[in-house]
Amino acid sequence: MMSPSRAQKWLGIGLAAVLAWLVGYPLLITLAEALGLPAALDLGAFEEFARRPDEWLALWQSLWISVASVLLAAVIGVPLGFLFARNEFPGRRLLGSLVILPVALPPLVGVIAFLFLYGESGLLTRSVQLVLGLTSAPWRLDGPGAILLVHAYSMYVFFYLFTRAALARFDASVLEAAASLGAGRRRTMTRVTLPLLMPALVGAALLTFMTALGSFSAPYLFGGGFRVMPTQIVVSKLNGQLAMARVETVMLAGVAFFGLWLVRRLDSGGQTTAGGVRGVAPGRRRLQSPGARVAAAVAGWALALFLLLPHMTLILISFVPPVSWTTEFFPPVLNGDNYRTLLAETERLRPVFNSLWMALVATAVALGLGGLAARLTLVLKGRLGRSLELLLAIPWAIPGTVFAVALAMTFSVRAAWMGRFVLVGTVWILPLAYIVRSLPLTGRSALAGLRQFDTRLEEAAASLGAGWSYTWRRVILPLLKPALAAGASLAFITTLGDFVTSVVLYTYDTRPVSVEILSSLRLQDTGVAAVYGVFLMVVSATIFLLWGRQEDV
């Protein structure tokens, strides 16, 4: 292992300081203000919180919904990852890309597509009702069940992607060694494969937990009386109860940190570089019997159809003119009115440009910073390395709402000597927030990639006379590419469709598509909202399909 150079140390300190200022500091400010500081210590709001059973209930429900979402997502995503990484069957490549698409379903309006599909008068609901001859809808889409459905559907992708990426970096010789030592398939799986996958699985679990904990759209649209913390914060803020909103923010952040701590404990044994990357990934098993191949193909396509139903519904809604679809099973009129409405005014395309440039900038910057931070984390080790890693993880450990509210509170005050500037209302705050929010995605995937990366390769390159930049260009980056691509595409897509952070921080000049979707829904323009949603979906899907293709080559 190389020891860090002086420059790397200073770079690490500088990066840690910037991250601390953007990530840790706003949280501290929020905590201080929740405690009534600096005026006087006032625990009134906390006492009020503690007295209210509904607040505790919301906290508890946030927690168990998130844990359940992780479990459900893992149960779906991990086997799928194995299926697609290890087996060969007809349509594998296309299907392998299609199963990522749930993540491309935009916020709010994507959830509304669920409503039009599985809701009381939804397409699928009415079909079932028709087939079974029922007089009323066979189920109701609300409460925790509905929230979990949406979460499991959209978040298994994290597990699937991370599992696949890790398996792609896997060294077949390890499996061969296990086999030649007499380990059966089961033993190889539990003692070799899974431990090696641990960093990836832990990363996916953390992502899923934090996304579920901060999830707003599903509880907001389906929750009804079912409270979770992010909706509580918004309600308190809307109702003008600022003190309560602050306490709720702090409590939600507390749960998030608890989750992060737990995950880091799980992860501490995950320093696996065993095996290096000398070998190639194990080849895919071809399903031999024709029956199995057909069965796999049919099951695969059925799954893909099921996964794509919400997308197709969203596209359908985008072609339904206002108030034309009432009690009919299928929309009676379909035309391009909603698209024409949108294209007729250039001003309505502004949010599309805004979202694109902000997502692009944020992803590019986060990719650079995240890669650098991940690298420094490993090189520096020690306390500095650990704090860098922690700072890198925190933006995901705090739900979007918490982060945005904290950022808005901290940077709406003019006090340069305290490191506080007025950024609220400027063009900069939203791209900045996007960068910070993207860092864990890019940083985490770079870290996972680097951890599986054999540093001896780098030493070999150095001893062969390769310089710093040459080593990066020809050795490190090519090997990290799958991991970086995964992180960058996730970062781009989450930023492009981000709602929870944007809605707090946007300004006239930076209003993104998601905010325009919200506003269209407020103005009863479901069709126009769907058009914006289709745009987000198409861009996200294109990026993923491109990436999936590259992954396969």
Partner 1 sequence: MKSYSWSWLGLLLLVSACDDGRTPLVLYSPHGRDLLVLLESEYERRHPSVDVRWLDMGSQEVYDRVRSEAANPQADVWFGGPDTIFGQGAADGLLEAYRPSWGGSVPSGSRDSDDLYFGLYRAVPLLIYNSDAVDADEAPHDWDDLLDPRWQGQIAIRDPLASGIMRTVFGKVLADSVLATGDEAAGFEWLLRLDAQTKGYAANPALLFERIVRQEALVSIWELTDMLFQRQRGAPFGYHFPSSGSPVIDDSIGLVANAKHPEAAKAFIDWVGSEDALLLAAEKAFRLPARTDLARESLPGWAIEALDQIVVAEVDWTLIADRGTEWMARWDREVRGRGE
Binding residues vs partner 1 (CB under 8 A): 52, 54, 112, 115, 119-121, 142, 220-221, 224-225, 235, 237-241, 322-327, 350, 353-354, 356-357, 360-361, 408-409, 412-414, 422, 424-427, 504, 507-509, 511, 518-526, 529
**How many helices and strands in the chain, by DSSP H and E?**
26, 2
Q: How far apart are CA 498 and CA 512, in angstroms?
A: 8
CB contact burial 20-29 (16+ within 10 A = b; e otherwise):
bebbbbbbeb
| 188/519 with CB nearer partner 1 | 519
State how far Cα 85 lies from the chain centre. Answer: 22
Residue among 156, 127, 150 at smallest CA distance from 139: 127
- Residue 515 Cβ, how far from partner 1 at the closest point, in Å? 9
85 or 409: CB nearest partner 1: 409
State the minimum distance, in angstroms, from the CB of residue 506 to partner 1: 8
Q: Whose Cβ is closer to partner 1: residue 395's or residue 431's?
A: 431
| Shortest Å, Cβ 231 to partner 1 | 10
- Cβ-based nearer residue to partner 1, 293 or 350: 350
Q: Report in angstroms how near the CB of residue 61 gets to partner 1 at its nearest.
A: 13
Report, in Å, the least distance between residue 376 CB and partner 1. Answer: 24
DSSP E strands, 33-161? 87-88
Are the C-beta atoms of residues 226 and 61 closer than 8 Å to each other? yes
Nearer to partner 1, 157 or 402 (CB): 402
Closest to partner 1 by CB, 258 vs 353, is 353
Tell me how far the alpha carbon of residue 202 is from its chain's centroid.
Answer: 14
The CB-of-416 to partner 1 minimum distance in angstroms stands at 13
Which residue number, 420 or 451, has a Cβ lying nearer to partner 1? 420
Task: State which residue, 50 or 523, has the beta carbon closest to partner 1.
Answer: 523
CA–CA distance from 499 to each of 255, 343, 427, 526 (Å)? Answer: 21, 23, 17, 17
φ, ψ of residue 56 to 5 degrees: the values are: -65, -40
| 458 CB neighbour count, 10 Å cutoff | 18
CB of 364 to partner 1, least distance (A): 8
Nearest to 223 by CA among 65, 67, 103, 56: 65
Please state the closest distance from residue 295 (CB atom) to partner 1, in A: 39
Distances (CA, A) of 142 to 308, 348, 538: 21, 32, 28
Can you read off the two tokens belonging to residue 239?
A: 């109702």
